[in-house]
């Protein structure tokens, strides 16, 4: 009785793991942090903050990148708003301090 169950487990275990992998073209934090054309709201927001010389676009003293902070706190940072901000005043309207 134990052998058929074990055999079934051995056959099905690889299938369970194959679904846990992200898609091959999924953006990674590293690609979003360095890309000239990020694909996520956080990636685009961080790029825009760096373009406008906002310190929030740079890594923190502890080494946390803008992208990782944004991913962790999207509700606070409103990345969709920041990503399309035309200037520092617009970034501030999105709720980001952007102390120049």
Cα torsion for 41, 45, 46, 49, to the nearest 10°?
180
For the chain, the domains span 31-100
Which of 13-27, 62-76, 81-95 has the weakest average pLDDT?
13-27
Rounded to an integer, the average pLDDT of 58-72 is 92
- 32-44: per-residue pLDDT in tens? 777 777 989 999 9
User: Residue 69: is its pLDDT beyond 70?
Assistant: yes
> Is 93's pLDDT higher than 60?
yes
Q: What tokens appear for 9 in the block? A: 């487990």
């Amino acid at each position: 009785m134990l052998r058929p169950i074990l055999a079934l487990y051995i056959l099905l275990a690889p299938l369970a793991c194959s679904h846990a992998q992200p898609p091959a073209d999924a953006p990674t934090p590293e690609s979003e942090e360095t890309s000239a054309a990020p694909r996520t709201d956080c990636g685009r927001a961080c790029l825009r903050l760096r373009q406008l010389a906002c310190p929030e676009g740079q890594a923190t003293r502890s080494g946390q990148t803008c992208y990782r902070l944004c991913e962790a706190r999207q509700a606070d940072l409103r990345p969709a708003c920041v990503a399309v901000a035309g200037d520092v005043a617009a970034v501030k309207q999105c709720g980001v301090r952007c102390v120049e």
